[in-house]
Chain A
Amino acid sequence: MSKSNPSTSRRAFLKGAAASGAGLAAATAATANTPDPLITEVQPWASGLGDGVDVSPYGLPISFEDDVIRRNVEWLTADTISSINFTPIHALDGTITPQGCAFERHHSGAIELRKEDYRLMINGLVDRPLVFSYADLERFPRENHVYFCECAANTGMEWAGAQLNGAQFTHGMIHNMEYTGVPLRTLLEEAGLDAAGELKDKWIYVEGADASSNGRSIPMEKALDDVLIAFKANGEALRKEHGYPVRLVVPGWEGNMWVKWIRRIEVMDGPVESREETSKYTDVLENGIARKWTWEMDAKSVVTSPSPQAPITHGKGPLVITGLAWSGRGAITRVDVSKDGGMTWETARLAKPGEKMALTRFYLDTDWDGEEMFLQSRAIDETGYVQPTKTQLREVRGLNSIYHNNCIQTWWVRPNGEAENVEVS
Chain B
Amino acid sequence: MLKFLKISTALVLLGSPALAENFGLGRVALPEEIAAWDLDVRPDGTGLPAGSGDVLTGEEVFADKCAVCHGDFAEGVDNWPKLAGGADTLADEDPLKTVGSYWPYLSTTWDYVNRSMPFGDAQSLAPDEVYAIVAYILYSNDLVDEEFVLSDETFADFEMPNADGFILDNRLESEHALWVGEPCMENCKTDVSVTMRAMVLDVTPQEEASSTETEEVQVAATEDAPAKEAKVEEVAAIDPELIKAGEKVFKKCKACHQIGENAKNRSGPILTGIVGSAAGQVEGFKYSKPLMAMAEDGLVWDEASLQEFLAKPKAFMKGTKMSFAGLKKDADLAAITAYLGSFPKE
Q: Using CB atoms and an 8 Å cutoff, list the residues of chain A in contact with chain B.
A: 6-7, 9, 11-12, 63, 66-67, 69, 71-75, 77-79, 81-82, 107-109, 121-124, 128-133, 136, 139-140, 161-166, 169, 186, 189-194, 196, 198-201, 205, 207, 211-213, 215, 219-222, 224-225, 263-264, 266, 270, 272-275, 278-279, 282, 284, 286-296, 298, 308-309, 336, 340-345, 374, 378, 380, 383-388, 392, 396, 399-400, 412, 420-425
Contact = CB atoms under 8 A, between A and B. Distances in A.
Contacts of A383: 176, 180
A137 B235 CA distance: 44
Interface stretch (B138-146, B186-194, B324-332): B186-194
Interface in B117-139: 119-120, 122-123
A408 to B, nearest CB: 11
Contacts of A274: 40, 108, 111-112
Contact of A11 (B9, B107, B178, B209): B209
Interface string B80-99: 10000000001111110101
A420 B197 contact: yes
A63 B211 contact: yes
A263 B37 contact: yes
Q: Which 9 A-B pairs have the closest CB atoms?
A: A189-B20, A288-B91, A288-B90, A341-B192, A193-B17, A78-B79, A211-B122, A421-B198, A6-B211
Contact-residue size bin, chain B (C-beta under 8 Å from the other chain) = 35 or more
A425 B179 contact: no
A399 B93 CA distance: 8
Interface in B45-76: 69
Interface stretch (B161-169, B236-244, B277-285, B304-312): B161-169
Given A279-B102, A291-B167, A294-B169, 9 more contacts: A129-B34, A212-B122, A225-B10, A342-B189, A344-B186, A386-B180, A387-B179, A392-B178, A421-B197
A192 B9 CA distance: 19
Contact of A213 (B14, B23, B108, B115): B115
Contacts of A109: 254-255
B222 interface: no
A199 B111 CA distance: 26
Contacts of A412: 194, 197
Interface of B: 1-2, 4-5, 8-11, 13-15, 17-23, 25-29, 33-34, 37-38, 40-43, 69, 78-80, 90-95, 97, 99, 102-105, 107-108, 111-112, 115-116, 119-120, 122-123, 165-171, 174-176, 178-181, 183-199, 201, 203-205, 207, 209-212, 215, 254-255, 266
A424 B170 contact: no
A388 B175 contact: yes
B27 A211 contact: no
Contact of B188 (A74, A81, A82, A344): A344
